[in-house]
Structure 1
Amino acid sequence: MKALYQGYINTNAVPVLPGSTSLDNILMLGGLSERDAITHLQKVVTEFYPQAFGCKALDLSSGRGVAAMALAEMGFRVAAYDVYRSSISVVQKLALAQELDIAFGVNGVTRLEELREKFDLIHDRECLANIVNRQERAQFLNSVRNSLAPGGKFVLTTEVWTENYDPEDSFESVRLDNNYVLWRQTPECDIPGVMAMEGKFWTAQKRIAPPEEIRLEVMSRGFKILMNKLEIPAGHGPARLKLVLTSAFAR
């Protein structure tokens, strides 16, 4: 299965697992959407980690676990965390079957210091974007920086606003406010976080700010930018900002 996993990363062919279970196929097919993220991780590891074997990596909001498995296959000892226990349990079974060095856990992303570990690489593709409160974003970035080992890297990919982005070009009922917070319409309820605006009810989903604002934000939290890449997709979706960061404080 490892060879097939590498196959879908390195080629455009969809792998077929003879005699595979439906769980295998769901995970494999679901992982196809993450090929770009894995390719980016491979490039980062090649450039910054000539000897990755034995280094420690943390994969945040691990989800399907494709990035965690890729890091483990590149030699890292991986800790994979997600806020949903059900996601972790599925990926854990797959990692055990492949004998990958991955420890799984459920944890809030703004409390990384509670892990009491330092990591050579921390990977995030969803957490920062999904935190809309500025104070909580600062807390998250501080937590990541404090959890890096000396010389460690924070590999961050986050959705950003560009002039091409049109949130209304979507099947969902959403709106982007002046603070670049994306709101999704929701049924009327009194759940905390649901806001009434213009006679409708909305819940904040993520913050999609301009790329320069994100760069300034991470630098204000004590990071230095080592790699900076902006990818603007065809159509009207949000762009992706890919950053490799390290602590600006010498240790």
Structure 2
Amino acid sequence: MRYYYAEHQAAYRRLGREGMTQWNDLFGESWTFDDFPNRVFLESVLDRLPASGEVLEYGCGTGPAACFLAARGFRVDAIDLIPEAITLARRFAQERGVTVNFSVQDVCAMPVGSKQYDVILDSYCLQSIVTDPDRAAVLAAVRDRLKPNGHYVLSTAMYDSDRVYEDDFRYDATTGICYERSTEPADDAVQLDNTWYLPHRRHLRPKALRAELEANGLQVLSQQGELRGDVICTPTRRG
């Protein structure tokens, strides 16, 4: 089992049991399904996106952003690793009368596909994709699936000097990786000072995120937000 699976499966099972609607509900934050964390950013970029364009959202969770775009005429495919998340997403889309093609898929292991999109959306998924190979795989999938004039619309958690990493976590400022203490060796675990840790999050500084995107064939058009984690990219022209 990969490092990112157990946490997310437990979270979406809890959402279902307790009648919650999205990830942030787990932390007592004051969001609703229709007032989700990156809604304001999405609203600000709608005029850059083609009306009724084809959208792929990966790591869609319970689907608030996917439903938001579908309600505005976009044709949306949305994927998530966790079956429980997709079950909830389908229910919430049906309740709102919108059509989204939801499916279970791990964005870190996406099969080669021929379909290309006008928009690929990440609503706070990338920070949970931690290791270099996984992030390279995801960004390669984004680059390959974008139409030549398509847009990668990304919202991700960033390094925050005010964030406190509690005792079971260890932050590596060089890589931006936050590790979580593990009780035993496991797939993807690393040993630091004779203690096992699993990858947990990656919180980059703005320049590092921009450099990573550019190194993976994406041209950054804008980088905004309080911590500069709301980004719009297009594919770098080849040749």
Same topology, TM > 0.5: yes
Summarize the Cα distance change of 1:24–1:181 in structure 2 as closer, same or farther, 3 Å threshold.
closer
**Counterparts of 1:197 and 1:113, CA distance in 2:** 33
Is the CA contact (8 Å cut-off) linking 2:60 and 2:123 kept in structure 1? no
Among 72, 75, 83, the residue aligned to 2:70: 72
**TM superposition score normalised by structure 2:** 0.80
Structure 1 unpaired stretches of 5+: 1-21, 232-238
Q: CA deviation at 1:220?
A: 1.4
- 1:244 corresponding residue in structure 2: 232
Equivalent of residue 105 in structure 1, options 103, 106, 109: 103
Q: Is the 8 A contact 1:160 1:209 kept in 2?
A: yes
Matched residue of 2:21: which SS?
helix
RMSD after superposition: 2.6
Q: Taking every aligned residue pair, what percent have the same amino acid on both sides?
A: 23
Q: CA deviation at 1:228?
A: 1.3
TM-score by length of 1: 0.76
Distance 1:183 1:167 in 2: 13
Q: Tell me the amino acid that sits aligned with residue 137 of structure 2.
A: Q
Q: Is the CA contact (8 Å cut-off) linking 1:161 and 1:210 kept in structure 2? A: yes
Q: Whose RCO is larger (CA < 8 A, sep 6+)?
A: 2
Q: Which residue of 1 aligns with 2:125?
A: 127
Q: Corresponding residue for 1:191?
A: 186
Tell me, what secondary structure is at the counterpart of 1:160? Answer: coil
Alignment coverage as a number of residue pairs: 216
Distance 1:212 1:61 in 2: 24
Residue 39 of structure 1 aligns with which residue?
Answer: 40
Q: What is the CA–CA distance in structure 1 between the aligned matches of 2:147 and 2:107, rounded to whole Å?
A: 18
- Write the distance in 2 (CA, Å) between the matches of 1:223 and 1:196: 33
**CA 1:201–1:112: 2 relative to 1, 3 Å:** closer
1:27 matches 2:21: yes
Quote how far apart the aligned CAs of 1:109 are: 0.9
What is the CA–CA distance in structure 2 between the aligned matches of 1:129 and 1:155, rounded to whole Å?
14
**Contact 1:112-1:147 within 8 A present in 2 as well:** no
3-state DSSP of counterpart to 2:219: strand
Rounded to whole Å, the distance in 1 between the matches of 2:140 and 2:162 is: 29
Alpha carbons 1:181, 1:206 under 8 Å: kept: yes
